[in-house]
Amino acid sequence: MLIATNQHHRSILLLCLASSITLSHGAPQQQQQQNPVYTDHYFQPSKIQKENFDPYIPRPTPIVDENIAPVEYYPSRMNEKLPDAHQLTLAEKQHYIKDAMVFAWDGYRTYSWGSDENRPVSNRPVNTRNGWGASIVDGIDTLYIMGLYGEFNEARDYIANIDWDITQDSDLVQVFETTIRYVGGLLSAYELSGDEMFVEKTVELVDRLLPAFDTPTGIPYQYVNFKTGKGVKSGFPDGASCLAELGTVQLEFTRLSEITGDWTYHHAGQRVYNTFVQLKTNQPGLFPHLINPDTGDAVGDYVSWGGMADSFYEYLIKQYVMSGGKDDRMKEMVIQSIRSMETYLIARPKGHPEIALLADLNGETQTPKMDELACFAPGNLLLAARTIPELADIEELASDMMHGCYNAWTSTRTGIAPEVFAYMDEAGNTVVGNLTGRREYLSKTYGVFPLAPSYILRPETIESIFYFYRFTRDRRYQDMAWDIFNSIHTYCRANSGFSGIDNVDAYYPNWDDRQESFFFAETLKYLYLLFDDDNDSSQQQEQLLSLNEWVLNTEAHPFKITDIVPPPTPPYKKKRAHWMDHLTVFLIHWIKLLFIPYLNLF
């Protein structure tokens, strides 16, 4: 999955939009009565025949308050736990997960259709991704994979009428989030269904994103203003672009070029790497999380495989996989980044040599904490070990890290991992000083303890478990996934969907009333596929998403692996800064020098 969500992407909860008017059902009463009533009873939704799902009721466009509002917290309730893993067949577990998808999708469809998200506690719509219906586009391939074809067709008809020029919450469109959620969702819907409409909508959208790449280095700015058609820099120092965002468009752009035959998209994504071939760092293959898009220089020296950097490294190995093992530049970058990660970022908590974790690197100093976002890494390392012979030796490290990430889940009172967890390094250092009480107990028992204790329905650990099960066929990984889903069901299932919680180590956490679109795209999809072994459709689904035939983007959208060899990317003609840009920078610099010292007088 990604940076704080979003991106994303990704470790900071985003501000969200509050709804000013509650959406009415807007459907005939007779049809409303046909909708299933969901309870926590096993298989209640599944007993309803498929024909009850197929007809769909068009929903009016929801009216959303455009004033940005903070996240609101509500008292939660615990749902009755589901049966333990050993009490259920794989088919029964998969039915439970499909029921969760239907329950959350029906809540979104009823209260928030056409908006980006449904608030699953207050039953209100909210726009966080420009108001194009992020949940619909991000979740459509999951509907198809689960066989929910009626819902898929309804989503397809909605997508066909999206006008990308109409943005609900801002004229600024974030390139990264739009690419992984919207572009990825559209392409995967085409891959699965063969419907050309999805390609047409993808081209419309990506053509509007390309101005972000019109920079002196080819590194994209963070945003595009869809009103002016111009790229817009981030609010980071020097207008820097973050590593994950600039390095997480390549799978989508390359696959779009393969489908359309227009290599403009592929070339735009690949030119980004010209800077990194030349950029010298103290840790070869690892890069600071902020890069100046005008100069290609690093901004700061903070290195991480977590938020703001994660999917940059994820896409290196996945591009190599997507190339069918033909992209030598990607192979070299993968090997170098993983070997440096082994040298500079791996840590083993004090008293727990059996688990491996990632540290952040501030200059030359390790910071003993790890984002849940970074728990994509065990699966990514295993993918690299099984794909590149020179990296076969890292499989044991990947397994130890998988164990460490899973401990972040099993150690808490809810059985859910925190947004960020910390640990005591081998020298006895922590990011919070001396450990006492609960933190000391968790550190000694599990090797980790919560640092940022919230959970926003993230999928990264589940994603790694998916790769471990697919490559090893070891049933214990299915049991691990089921325990995680059981905890999410118990603590996050709310009124019309699933909500994040504020404290994973509390007996009674509060709901945050947020259901990000990646819950449909990633969390439930990975869980569903993990149990796709012994039911009637297992052979079809295995062929559908075999890791020999498909590569999944950071939002779990599947793209086909082909034998198409892209043409060489032509040399990039660097955009020269206009003289007015230099003048503006000069004037701003002197204004700061002249007036900032006197501001404290007012």
Amino acid type, 379: G
Structure tokens, 151: 């819902």
Task: Measure the CA–CA gap between 364 and 283, rounded to whole angstroms.
Answer: 9
**Phi, psi dihedral angles at 590 (to 5 degrees):** -75, -30
Q: How far is CA 514 from the centre of its chain?
A: 15
User: Residue 248: helix, strand or coil by DSSP?
Assistant: coil
Task: Measure the CA–CA gap between 209 and 566, rounded to whole angstroms.
Answer: 21
| Residue 16 φ/ψ region, left for φ over 0, alpha for ψ in the -120 to 50 degree band, beta for the rest | beta
User: Residue 448: helix, strand or coil by DSSP?
Assistant: coil
DSSP H helical ranges for 531-578: 538-544
Task: Measure the CA–CA gap between 397 and 48, rounded to whole angstroms.
Answer: 46
Please check whether residue 487 is in contact with residue 414, taking contact to mean a CB–CB distance below 8 angstroms: yes
Is 460 in the active site?
Answer: no
Task: Measure the CA–CA gap between 18 and 29, rounded to whole angstroms.
Answer: 28
Packed helices 395-410 and 460-472: angle between N→C axes, nearest 10 degrees: 130
Residue 353, CA atoms < 13 Å, CB-side half-sphere = 1
Please check whether residue 551 is in contact with residue 169, taking contact to mean a CB–CB distance below 8 angstroms: no
DSSP H helical ranges for 447-501: 460-472, 475-492
Task: Measure the CA–CA gap between 425 and 427, rounded to whole angstroms.
Answer: 5
DSSP H helical ranges for 39-162: 90-111, 134-145, 149-160
Task: Measure the CA–CA gap between 518 and 437, rounded to whole angstroms.
Answer: 35
> CA-based Rg of the chain, rounded to a whole angstrom?
23
DSSP structural state of residue 121 = T
Q: Among 242, 299, 234, which Cα is nearest to 272's?
A: 242
| Active-site pick, 151, 177, 419, 516 | 419
Please count the residues of the chain. Answer: 602
DSSP H helical ranges for 232-327: 243-246, 250-260, 264-270, 272-278, 310-322
Pairing of strands 223-225, 172-174: antiparallel
Q: Which residues are marked as active site?
A: 419
